Amino acid sequence: MADSPGCCRPCAACLLCLYSCQWITAKKEKRKGLRTTKCDYSWFLFLFCVFLFTLVWLYFAIIILNDFHNFNEFIFKQRKLWLDWSLVLLIATAVLITYSAVLLVLALCLQLCGQPLKLHWLHKTLLILTALTVAAAFTGLGIKWAEEWRSARISLQATGPFLHIGIVGGMTLLAWPLASFIYRTRNRGLKVFLLLVYCMVMIALYLAPLGITSPCIMEENQLPPKPALVGHRGAPMLAPENTLMSLHKAVDCDVQVFETDVMVSADGVPFLMHDEELIRTTNVQAVFPERAALNSTTFNWTDLQQLDAGSWFLERRPFPTVQSLSAGDLYQATKQRIPSLEQVLEAAKQSNISIMFDLRPENHSDYQSFVNATLEVILQSGIPLQQVLWLPDGFREQVKQQAPGVQQVYGRKRLQNEKEPLLHVNLPYQDMSSEEIRQYRQDNISVNLYVVNQPWLFSILWCSGVSSVTTNACQVLKEMKRPIWLLPSSTYLMIWIVVDCASFLAILWAFLLLKKCSQRRRPAESETDVLLTKINSLMQE
């Protein structure tokens, strides 16, 4: 066992013990003739690939946190079980990435110390399970949540420049164990192959910024105005969703539009509710257990007024922010009831905040009567009609005739032969590119994108020039005075050149230093071999 300079034998034996799950000293290793075989190198390559695989999944896990509340609601709808599954996701991902990272670091340290890479069968089994688990996660993401692939592409506009720096740094550090292996191995073909692959990867990384684009690479004076905030069901991180308390909390967050969902009771009263069932956001199972699974529209207004629409917020804690609320806020939440549209319009009028809503369910047989009842309440409320943003597509022409002052918001992009120009569009943030947002802005079309919770996503849309965003986290986005990062193109070019030059010099230094160490070690190894040969000859004589 030839030790590298600075690698003591006890440390090397300890590393080998952790990696191979057996304690092997230098004498035992020499007696057993342990060396790294082609199979061992194959397992090291597999370990490296699994680490990269889990690293990519970690990135995805962080990105999809923006939309994870939708996943929690989906699971509740299917299983009637509420849990913050984002914690489960992050903990499981952290365990997988930590395990593969520790194994990889051990392998690289063993390579630097000149030790054999004898991966234990238990580690091999766990690595295979890790790869299968991550593959299953990606498959499930592609089948059930395909739009998150588009979210990942958008995220690269926010993280691309920094990912480039990180990957260049990681590949630069990889030069040390690579150089150590190249100077140790006698297989010339393998040396040439590894060097060619490494050089091609580094050249591609050095030139990668040519393909990196981001709307936040711009001059400070080109930054568009900050997007207005639209409260998704109010301020659902600070109060029970679709309640008067949630509306008032949204007003405190400087939200300009209260986005909500309207249904109509059996006796014709429009009220606020997102789900078709009342189970998630009320205590209907306790008050009306035999009717709990029925559609919300089957209840009359008197029944709906008996329901508690706030205690669930404290029991299930849909967001981590619930535990940081004051005692007064917690008490107020327990007093919330399902509000009627009339009550909400009055509160919006007093707070000078606009209201945007969907009318559900769209496929109901009495949908036209729902539209009529909702219009009647709006017209009788006295709220300025320009403060009402109408989202439903059903019977839109009727709405235009009866309430021409109501602002029409469309959930689609404009068509080529549009008879009437669109003034407002409301779309998922994945459905519009930065170029489309800029074009709509130039054409004076207001673009609202939903649901935007994470500062990195808000920053990208801000730089793109979006008019407004619908958010659950109004208290977070309110505090942002500028995008997370904003770089002039000249500054980014300078960073690019400095990083590439520093990486190249570090790689060159690693190869030269290890070459010098290798040349010093060879004469000593030769003298040792000669001495051992002489001793062996004398013993035979």
Q: What is the pLDDT of residues 438-453, one digit of tens each?
A: 999 999 999 999 999 9
Q: Which two tokens stand for residue 138?
A: 């990606």
Contacts 24+ apart (CB under 8 A), 36-43: 36/116, 36/117, 36/118, 40/116, 40/117, 40/118, 40/119, 41/117, 43/117, 43/119, 43/124
- Is residue 44 a part of any domain in this protein? yes
Percent residues over pLDDT 90 in the chain: 79
- Is residue 298 a part of any domain in this protein? no
Residues 471, 454 contacting (CB under 8 angstroms): no
pLDDT at position 525 over 80 = no
Which amino acid is it at 455?
P
Per residue in 371-393, pLDDT (tens digit) is 999 999 999 999 999 999 999 99
Among candidate residues 166, 56, 152, the one with its CA nearest the CA of residue 495:
166
Q: Do 367 and 237 share a structural domain?
A: yes
Per residue in 384-431, pLDDT (tens digit) is 999 999 999 999 999 999 999 999 999 999 988 877 788 999 999 999
Please report the pLDDT score of residue 5 as a whole number.
46
Distance between CA 230 and CA 446 in Å, rounded?
13
Count the neighbouring beta carbons within 10 Å of the beta carbon of residue 346.
Answer: 16
pLDDT at position 346 over 70 = yes
* Mean pLDDT over the full length of the chain: 91
Q: Do 468 and 362 share a structural domain?
A: yes
Q: What is the CATH number of the domain that holds 431?
A: 3.20.20.190
Please report the pLDDT score of residue 115 as a whole number.
80
Q: Do 161 and 85 share a structural domain?
A: no
Q: Which domain does 53 fall in, by range?
A: 9-24+35-145
pLDDT at position 30 over 80 = no
Q: How many residues does the chain have?
A: 541
pLDDT at position 26 over 50 = no
Q: Do 202 and 89 share a structural domain?
A: no
- Is residue 400 a part of any domain in this protein? yes
Q: Do 424 and 499 share a structural domain?
A: no
Bridge partners, 263 (sequence order): 271
- Is residue 412 a part of any domain in this protein? yes
Distance between CA 413 and CA 427 in Å, rounded?
8
Q: Do 168 and 75 share a structural domain?
A: no
Please report the pLDDT score of residue 392 as a whole number.
96
Please report the pLDDT score of residue 3 as a whole number.
45
Distance between CA 149 and CA 155 in Å, rounded?
10
Per residue in 53-71, pLDDT (tens digit) is 999 999 999 999 999 999 9
pLDDT at position 6 over 50 = no
- Could you give the angle at the alpha carbon of 289 between the alpha carbons of 285 and 290, nearest 5°? 145
Q: Which two tokens stand for residue 330?
A: 């917690």
Residues 6+ apart with CB under 8 A from 293: 277, 279
Among candidate residues 106, 128, 179, 155, the one with its CA nearest the CA of residue 457:
155
Residues 6+ apart with CB under 8 A from 214: 157, 158, 160, 161, 460, 463
pLDDT at position 538 over 80 = no
Please report the pLDDT score of residue 35 as a whole number.
76
Residues 6+ apart with CB under 8 A from 415: none
pLDDT at position 456 over 60 = yes
- Is residue 382 a part of any domain in this protein? yes
- Is residue 528 a part of any domain in this protein? no
Please report the pLDDT score of residue 22 as a whole number.
67
pLDDT at position 470 over 90 = yes
Average pLDDT for residues 156-172, to the nearest whole number? 96
User: Is the omega angle on the peptide bond into residue 451 within 30 degrees of 0, that is, cis?
Assistant: yes
- Is residue 70 a part of any domain in this protein? yes
Q: Beta strand 257-264 with 270-272: parallel, antiparallel or unpaired?
A: antiparallel
Please report the pLDDT score of residue 240 as a whole number.
98
Q: How many domains does the chain have?
A: 3
Percent residues over pLDDT 70 in the chain: 92
Average pLDDT for residues 480-509, to the nearest whole number? 96
Q: Do 194 and 102 share a structural domain?
A: no
Please report the pLDDT score of residue 4 as a whole number.
45
Average pLDDT for residues 179-202, to the nearest whole number? 90
Q: Which residues of 137-157 are buried (b: 16+ CB within 10 A; e: fewer)?
A: beeebeeebeebeebbebbbb
Among candidate residues 236, 128, 310, 245, the one with its CA nearest the CA of residue 470:
236
- Is residue 221 a part of any domain in this protein? no
Q: Do 130 and 59 share a structural domain?
A: yes
Q: Which two tokens stand for residue 448?
A: 């609202």
Residues 59, 153 contacting (CB under 8 angstroms): no
Helix H or strand E segment including 425: strand 424-428
pLDDT band at 535 (very low <50, low <70, confident <90, very high): low
Maximum CA extent, the chain:
117
pLDDT at position 1 over 80 = no
Which amino acid is it at 92?
A
Q: pTM higher than 0.85, yes or no? A: yes
Q: Do 17 and 115 share a structural domain?
A: yes
Per residue in 297-341, pLDDT (tens digit) is 999 999 999 999 999 999 999 999 999 999 999 999 999 999 999
Q: Do 472 and 348 share a structural domain?
A: yes
Q: Which two tokens stand for residue 483?
A: 């995008």
Please report the pLDDT score of residue 19 as a whole number.
86
Distance between CA 245 and CA 479 in Å, rounded?
21
Residue 380 half-sphere exposure toward CB, CA atoms < 13 A: 10
Average pLDDT for residues 261-286, to the nearest whole number? 97
**Start-to-end CA span in the chain (Å):** 28
Please report the pLDDT score of residue 521 as a whole number.
62
Q: Do 236 and 157 share a structural domain?
A: no
Q: Do 507 and 434 share a structural domain?
A: no
pLDDT band at 537 (very low <50, low <70, confident <90, very high): low
Of the given ranges (143-157, 159-173, 273-287, 410-424), which has the lowest mean pLDDT? 410-424
Contacts 24+ apart (CB under 8 A), 408-415: 409/356, 409/448, 414/445
